[in-house]
């Protein structure tokens, strides 16, 4: 048998695989399952966006190679950043992606070599740590937790690691932690990156899902950030276009060129009708975003309050589409997730996102309010087994 490469052993997660297998067994047995494990939006894009796409796919001239994206999409991104964040972006500072995950993985290939370091949060979305495996670089995990308010001190990074680091990956609002950062923290990040010649890669995928009083904070709200940072975003969570893969990365053209060159050897761009629909959304459907945010905020509020009514005092998310919940003693992340599955709710064990996630589960707010209340009721039966509810 021909063996896969060694990097595949670090890319696959036995935790994700185990949960998927057990969930499928329950479904195959005909059991009623509420799946809150994956951050895949359950709602559609705005009707107008779907109509644009539907009309476009009927046109005969829409089926050629798209390559690096059209000018209409680039202009739409600059419009969106100007209207939503009051940030001026030039069209040449926009590179289209097949979703932000595409950009994150390929940025590592474009920039990092064996012997380099990638600094990533722990816990984090799995692609961040996978970036090191894909590129052959070493990984330095930066603990992100409640004790440091999810904003770890860069001074704790050993100087020899900082000198060898190529990329610093950041993610606010965070997945899985559901935390946001302050402007002062971003300023420290930019200063650290400038000092050590590191490229910050800010994953801004949850920009439109902010539940606290703060405004969405782009890395480019920080002076001099463009000298040392790029920012990835997509329409997956903001406009519910997760399956219609499209996103972008913003930064100086000199920082985008290695990624553009790499992608020219890998893919031929995003389907034209998806680009048209995305351009329309970014230009004409900004009013949808507040309604969308309120939908998730209501879900978050009722779900967390219901859990708290059972004396499970989980942390209220600052933003995103997840609840990052500390599991009651004596559960581990995995044992709690397996127990929850027995009561018909699928959640993701926190240690699937790194060692720093042990003791937590991630719960996705991807069902309607009635279903979330039912999920909370089921989880209440699970937590009654714990003598020490946090």
The pLDDT value given to residue 12: 66
Average pLDDT over residues 147-167: 96
Q: Are strands 117-122 and 165-171 parallel, antiparallel or unpaired?
A: parallel
Cβ-in-10-Å burial (0-12, 13-18, 19+) of 340 comes to: buried
The pLDDT value given to residue 17: 79
The Cα–Cα gap between 235 and 222 comes to 23
The Cα–Cα gap between 160 and 162 comes to 5
Average pLDDT over residues 255-272: 95
What is the per-residue pLDDT across 294-341, written as a single tens digit (0 to 9) for each? 999 999 999 999 999 999 999 999 999 999 999 998 999 999 999 999
Report how far apart, in Å, the C-alpha atoms of 34 and of each of 23, 29, 37, 165, 374 are: 10, 14, 9, 41, 9
Q: Are strands 229-234 and 348-349 parallel, antiparallel or unpaired?
A: unpaired
> Is residue 261 within 8 Å of residue 334, measured between CB atoms?
no
Average pLDDT over residues 184-189: 98
- Whether the predicted pLDDT of 6 surpasses 90: no
What is the per-residue pLDDT across 225-243, written as a single tens digit (0 to 9) for each? 999 999 999 999 999 999 9
Alpha helices in 241-286 (DSSP H): 253-264, 272-284
Strand extents, DSSP E, the chain = 34-35, 94-97, 117-122, 138-143, 165-171, 199-203, 229-234, 247-250, 322-326, 345-346, 348-349, 360-364
The Cα–Cα gap between 376 and 371 comes to 9
Residue 96 has which token pair?
A: 């289209």
- Domain at 6-44+287-384: CATH architecture: Alpha-Beta Complex (3.90)
Residue 363 has which token pair?
A: 């719960």
Write down the domain spans for the chain.
6-44+287-384, 63-284
Give the model's confidence band at 386: pLDDT under 50 very low, under 70 low, under 90 confident, else very high.
Answer: low
Give 3-state DSSP helix, strand, coil % of the chain, rounded to 5: 50, 15, 35
Residue 72 has which token pair?
A: 């209409």
What is the per-residue pLDDT across 329-369, written as a single tens digit (0 to 9) for each? 899 999 999 999 999 999 999 999 999 999 999 999 999 99
**Domains 6-44+287-384 and 63-284 fall in the same CATH topology:** no
- Whether the predicted pLDDT of 212 surpasses 90: no
The pTM score is: 0.95
Report how far apart, in Å, the C-alpha atoms of 335 and of each of 161, 262, 332 are: 35, 42, 5
Report how far apart, in Å, the C-alpha atoms of 342 and of each of 19, 188, 195, 326, 362 are: 12, 45, 51, 19, 17
The pLDDT value given to residue 390: 44
What is the per-residue pLDDT across 87-99, written as a single tens digit (0 to 9) for each? 999 999 999 999 9
Average pLDDT over residues 15-27: 87
Give the CATH class of 63-284: alpha beta
Residue of 31, 45, 27, 7 lying closest to 240 (CA atoms):
45
The pLDDT value given to residue 5: 85
Average pLDDT over residues 164-174: 97
Average pLDDT over residues 374-381: 96
The pLDDT value given to residue 214: 75
Average pLDDT over residues 252-270: 95
- Whether the predicted pLDDT of 385 surpasses 80: no
> Is residue 273 within 8 Å of residue 57, measured between CB atoms?
yes
The Cα–Cα gap between 194 and 188 comes to 10
> Is residue 334 within 8 Å of residue 350, measured between CB atoms?
no
Average pLDDT, the chain: 94
């Amino acid at each position: 048998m021909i063996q896969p490469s060694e990097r595949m052993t670090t890319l696959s997660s036995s935790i994700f695989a185990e949960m998927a297998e057990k969930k499928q067994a329950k479904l195959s047995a005909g059991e009623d399952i509420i799946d809150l494990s994956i951050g895949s939006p359950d709602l559609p894009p705005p009707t107008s966006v779907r109509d644009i796409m539907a009309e476009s796919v009927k046109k005969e001239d829409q089926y050629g190679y798209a390559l690096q994206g059209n000018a209409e999409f680039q202009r739409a991104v600059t419009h969106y950043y100007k209207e939503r964040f009051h940030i001026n972006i030039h069209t040449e500072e926009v590179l289209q992606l097949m979703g932000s995950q595409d950009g994150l993985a390929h940025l590592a290939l474009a920039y990092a070599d064996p012997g380099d370091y990638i600094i990533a949060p722990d816990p984090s979305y799995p692609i961040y740590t996978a970036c090191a495996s894909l590129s052959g670089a070493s990984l330095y995990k930066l603990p992100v937790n409640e004790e440091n308010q999810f904003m770890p001190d860069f001074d704790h990074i050993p100087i020899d690691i900082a000198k060898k680091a190529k990329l610093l990956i950041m993610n606010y609002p965070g997945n899985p932690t559901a935390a946001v950062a302050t402007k002062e923290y971003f300023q420290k990040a930019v200063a650290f990156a400038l000092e050590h010649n590191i490229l910050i890669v800010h994953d801004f995928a949850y920009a439109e899902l902010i539940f606290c009083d703060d405004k969405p904070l782009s890395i480019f709200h920080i002076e001099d950030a463009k000298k040392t940072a790029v920012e990835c975003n997509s329409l997956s969570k903001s406009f519910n276009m997760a399956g219609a893969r499209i996103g972008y990365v913003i930064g100086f053209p000199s920082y985008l060129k290695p990624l553009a060159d790499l992608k020219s050897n890998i893919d031929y761009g995003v389907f034209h009708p998806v680009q048209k629909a995305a351009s329309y959304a970014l230009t004409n459907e900004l009013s949808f975003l507040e309604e969308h945010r309120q939908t998730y905020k209501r879900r978050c509020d009722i779900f967390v309050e219901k859990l708290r009514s059972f004396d499970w005092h989980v942390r209220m998310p600052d933003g995103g589409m997840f609840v990052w919940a500390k599991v009651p003693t004596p559960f581990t992340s995995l044992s709690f997730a397996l127990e929850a599955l027995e009561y018909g709710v699928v959640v993701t064990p926190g240690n699937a996102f790194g060692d720093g996630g042990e003791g937590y589960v991630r719960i996705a707010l991807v069902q309607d309010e009635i279903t979330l209340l039912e999920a909370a009721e089921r989880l209440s039966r699970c937590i009654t087994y714990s003598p020490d509810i946090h």
